[in-house]
Chain A
Amino acid sequence: MEIGGIVAYLVSLAILAGIYAVFTLGLNIQWGYTGLFNIGIAGFFCIGAYTSALITTPMPTGIYAHYVHQIFGWNLPFLLGILGAAVVCGLIAFLIGIPTLRLREDYLAIATIGIAETIRLIFNNERWLANGPRGLMGLPQPLQEMIDPRHYNYLYLIIILLILVIIYLAIERAIRSPWGRVLRAIREDEISTAMSGKDIFSFKIQSLIFGSMIMGIGGALYAHYTKAISPDVFTPLYGTFIIWVMLMVGGSGNNKGAILGAFVVWGIWTGTKFMTDLLPYTLKARAPYIRFLLIGILLEIILVYRPQGLLGEEKKVSKMMEE
């Protein structure tokens, strides 16, 4: 492979790792700081991607209208797509939080699995909504007219990294505020936090909404990278499980760890592809399963032997505190 090819490959790897890092940051708010067990990330991923796709694409006209059905197409700019994705995901998180956040913690997990599966089923079966199993294609990319399409990925990587930095700084600020300290207090000890006069349910639902909005942004970024989305992308494996492994590997409760985990695990995931390419032809079709099996084992090893992940939690969250 020539050097240009390798660079282009690394750029595409970094783009996807960057998008996954947005998800791990969102999950870190929910799990790392508040202890909310959301295993329906794929649902927010899916909703974020589709919302932004519907907002930014035009309504199909002429012959396309026979083949592509979508509930609306507003042809608006990329940034409004991202905003819409965040708002809709926040709304879904609010609705799912109401029945579950007052109950024992694993009910939220079960309910989020349910919402993720239900969302995928709806997009798969309802053709009028977003073209059913065939999904939507030809999504616009921001600033695409400014640069040669062959080099567009460099620009998109810069956009992703910019958004990642903004989200990182926003979360760091929120977490180091009194609000963020209440979240951590809830995670550590709900009862004594409630006794200090904090409304546990309200803080939990805020955390769930905040994290899910960031996941929605991740979904939108993904959709505009691949330019085509269909419901079969948002499976529990690619949409939920790998993101959990990333956060656990990097270190939950640490935003730098969350980003690091996304890059490390995505690196392992793509790196092992080269190894399975060496397998005999008959085994190759099943190679992704072997790689996912290894990722699953990685999660179990982390849980048993290094639950704090690579970086571990940052204990000091206030600059007023002494070292």
Chain B
Amino acid sequence: MAELFIYGVVLGSIIALGSIGLTLVFGILRFANFAHGDLMTAGAYVALFLVTGLFSWLGISDNPFIPLSFGLRMLFAIPISMITIALIAILLDRILYQPLRKKKSGTVILAMAALGASFIIQMAVLILWGADSLFYKPGVLRPALELPLEIKIRPDQIFIILIVSLSIAILHLFLKHTRMGKAMRATADNPELARVTGIDTGRIIKWTWGIGGGMAAMGGILYGIDVQLHPGMGWGFLLPLFAATILGGIGNMYGALIGALVMGVVQQISTAYLLPTYKPAVAFIIMILILLVRPQGIFGGRS
């Protein structure tokens, strides 16, 4: 059980990278971005292209940093993929969501456009990489460390927890102490008031997509390192992402973080009793319970 708890924290920290971005988009742009999971997928596959394609062509060393399962290539691939996906998310807003906002389309129409974008991204990944599951480094041995309490954990998983904690700490400092961060929080809190006080909402929207896209990309890559890559992986994350976001209260970044950890742990612990394939269903049941009991989330936010 202690082991499942730790695996849950690993899964939860990956979900957190998605749910924090989702809650920012939800809070600031006010629509359900059904393509958020697929931004994770896209990030993972861009990194795959870099690691197995471009960097191998450039002749960057493929030796892993023992005991981790990846090396220098992945270290470069993570930031490049994050920037790529951030730009794709901003571009998507420019060509799709912004025209819809200009036409005063309802939030449901925006969510539908996001659903369309979700399928477009999935199809693009399927066209480029096919439907099979892939690995960043197939056949590499990934020995686990033995911790007390019979916990087996792979060094990769420790790396995941550390890098996610670091990223969230950086985001926290950004939102708390920079002008842009403060403006973003103000906009999430009350967009009309933010506009009246002279905050440039156009820039806020770009930053929101950039941060959301970049974090999602990192989440996708880390899931690829921990488990595998699959074109439907982001779609599979959709329910835990939304459950975490609703649990934490829409627009509440810290709520989304806690919600993600809760979802990760509950999903992993459920595998002691249910088939692991039921994980998305477990996320769904929890979400329905939250909607019944406390639809505004544990930490408030907007309902």
Residues on A lying within 8 angstroms of B by beta carbon are 35, 37, 39, 99-100, 103-107, 109-111, 113-115, 117-118, 121-122, 124-125, 236-237, 241, 244, 248, 285-286, 289-290, 292-293, 296-297, 299-300, 303-304, 307
Contact = CB atoms under 8 A, between A and B. Distances in A.
B113 interface: yes
B124 A307 contact: no
A115 B127 CA distance: 28
Contact of B238 (A104, A113, A118, A244): A113
B115 A39 contact: yes
B123 A292 contact: yes
Nearest to B239: A114
A296 B103 CA distance: 20
B115 to A, nearest CB: 6
Given A99-B292, A114-B239, A115-B284, 6 more contacts: A37-B111, A107-B291, A110-B32, A293-B123, A299-B112, A300-B120
Interface string B100-133: 1001010111011101110110011011001000
Contact of A293 (B105, B120, B239): B120
B119 A121 contact: no
B254 interface: no
Contact of A118 (B34, B105, B113, B281): B281
Interface in B215-270: 235, 238-239, 242, 246
B66 interface: no
* A interface: dominant SS: helix
A275 to B, nearest CB: 15
Nearest to B245: A110
Interface stretch (B8-16, B137-145, B272-280): B272-280
Contact of A303 (B109, B127, B285): B109
6 contacts: A39-B34, A114-B281, A114-B288, A299-B113, A303-B112, A304-B113
Contact of B107 (A106, A111, A296): A106
Contacts of B79: none
Contacts of A285: 130
B37 to A, nearest CB: 11
* B interface: dominant SS: helix
Contacts of B295: 103, 107
Interface size class of B (residues with CB under 8 A): 35 or more
A229 to B, nearest CB: 19
B126 A286 contact: yes
A236 B235 contact: yes
Nearest to A96: B288
B265 to A, nearest CB: 19
A124 B126 CA distance: 23
Max count, chain A CB within 10 A of own CB: residue among B105, B113, B235, B288 = B288
B172 to A, nearest CB: 27
Nearest to A298: B116
B5 interface: no
A304 B99 contact: yes
Contacts of B96: 300, 304
B303 A290 contact: no
A105 B108 contact: yes
A236 B115 CA distance: 10
B287 interface: yes
Nearest to B287: A114
Contacts of B291: 99-100, 103, 107, 111
Contacts of A300: 96, 113, 116-117, 120
Given A113-B238, A115-B284, A303-B105, A293 B127 contact: yes
A290 B125 CA distance: 11
Given A118-B284, A290-B127, A106 B116 contact: no
A37 B112 CA distance: 9
Contact of A105 (B107, B117, B120, B284): B107
A106 B120 contact: no
A272 B5 CA distance: 49
B135 interface: no
Interface string B19-48: 000000000000110100000000000000
Contacts of A292: 119, 123
A117 B100 contact: no
Contacts of B235: 236
A303 B277 contact: no
Nearest to A235: B232
